[in-house]
Amino acid sequence: MWSVADDALVAGMATGDPDAASAFVERFQRRIYGLAYTMLGDVRGAEDVAQEALLRAWRHAGVYDPRRGTVVSWLLTITRNLAIDTMRVRRPIAIDPDAVLAWSPPAPGRGPAEAALVSDDAGRLHQAIATLPGEQRRAIVLAGIVGLSAREVSEREDIPLGTAKTRIRTAMQRLRLALTEEHTE
Amino acid sequence: MSGAACTAARDAAPELALGILDGQARAEVLLHLATCPHCQRYLDEMAAVADGVSCLAPELEPPADFARRIDSTIRGARRRSVRRWVTTVAVTAAAAAILSITVVRVIDFHPTSAHPVAAPALRSVAMVGSNGLQVGHVAVSSSSPASVVVNVDYNVPDGTYSLQVRQPSGTPRTVGTITITGGHGQWTGAAPLPPAQGVSLDLVAPSGSVVCQAAVNQAQATS
């Protein structure tokens, strides 16, 4: 019934259509909950963050601008910010970046845009991250998935701030190169 | 555009794309990006990588009833919203009727005093936070000093922030404070906005980091 594009679903929510909202929740709940759980490491906290993220997306569907990014990235950013706020209030972050990468790439999503992203870039990125030196891999997971700032990465890894910034920057440049090469082949 | 500015922007682009660049550094990069399409394109590519990295977190099945509970919240809120809307329409209609009667009587009483006064033009500007997400908007009047209404309604942590007018050159000037509660906050006041390009109104955390900003300037506001 709801095999529509992600941004069309958000547009439906913005008009107040509760069925569009139900389909939106059904489509993204696993991804949102998965990110929240990865960051927080506990069921209750992840559930609270995932619920608030989906409700915020519903409340602010009208301000979503597809020119600024995909629905998935918009939603993941909301989730990540909420989880970061929760983590900073509660306790030091207890996530192991190597454990995050031990998981397989996400299963194909239900939205067309998400499915395309997963089938193309996510698999390539996962492969490219696996080839990074260990310290860069840890830095990019902590910054890109967990949402730590360069300063927090430096404290966590016990390295100078400049080194943390360099690791993040170099990892991002290598991943960009990997994606660009894939697209131009 | 200078080579040094491009180098600095490209060095900072990965952190900006990941949404972890704070404060003055972010403001400086954003100002440069507004004038440099090459660096903006580089940032777009970095943003695509950052989006992909976020998506690498595993999908997990939430607890049973999770979706149903959210669905109930949404449908319940929608019912309350419809009731509020009906009430608002009724109250507004009644108020409009009372107002129209009052205005007619005032005009009748002072038939020569009803000179129309032009309201200052208003312009709405997006307030943009990390990752380029819109977190609210700013309404700016064409008067001097400008009347400013700041509305924040998304993705800004609760707390008290200072509102600063920032120019490309010169020190930022604090024009007020805004408190965000439950993700929402509003500030209304007057602010001198220099008639120059590149002027922004920034929400600044106590730590000094710029949380979000709106590209306001008097030249645009009067257009």
The tens digit of pLDDT for each residue in B156-198 reads 877 888 898 888 777 888 888 898 876 777 777 778 887 777 7
pLDDT at position A110 is: 47
More confident residue, A75 or B196: A75
Q: What is the helix (H) or strand (E) element at residue B41, kind and residue range?
A: helix B37-54
Domain boundary among A94, A121, A136: A94
pLDDT at position A95 is: 67
More confident residue, A29 or B53: A29
Chain B residues touching residue A72 (CB < 8 angstroms): 51, 55
pLDDT at position A174 is: 94
For B87-111, how does the pLDDT look when each residue is reduced to its tens digit (9 = 90+)? 555 554 555 555 445 444 444 444 4
B81 class by beta-carbon count within 10 Å (0-12 exposed, 13-18 middle, 19+ buried): exposed
Q: Give residues 4 to 43 of A whose Cβ lies within 8 Å of B.
A: 16, 18, 21-22, 25-26, 29-31, 33-35, 37-39, 43
Rounded CA-CA distance A2/A22 in Å is 10
- Residue A168's closest CA among A178, A156, A179, A154? A154
Range of A46's domain? Answer: 1-94
pLDDT at position A133 is: 93
Range A64-93 average pLDDT: 78
For A15-55, how does the pLDDT look when each residue is reduced to its tens digit (9 = 90+)? 888 888 999 999 999 999 998 988 888 889 999 999 999 99
Chain B residues touching residue A54 (CB < 8 angstroms): 70
For A84-108, how does the pLDDT look when each residue is reduced to its tens digit (9 = 90+)? 788 776 655 566 777 666 654 544 4
Cα angle, residue B189 at apex, residues B121 and B195 outer, rounded to 5°: 55
pLDDT of residue A160 exceeding 90, the answer is yes
Rounded CA-CA distance B31/B43 in Å is 13
Are A137 and A66 in the same domain?
no
Domain tally, chain A:
2
Question: At which residue do the structure tokens 């008009």 appear?
Answer: A15
| Beta carbons of B67 and A69 less than 8 Å apart | no
The CATH class of the B122-221 domain is: mainly beta
Report the CATH number that the domain containing residue A24 is assigned in CATH. 1.10.1740.10
The yes/no answer to whether this complex scores an ipTM above 0.90 is: no
More confident residue, A20 or A119: A20
Are A90 and A3 in the same domain?
yes
| Nearest residue, CB atoms, A72 vs list B45, B55, B71 | B55
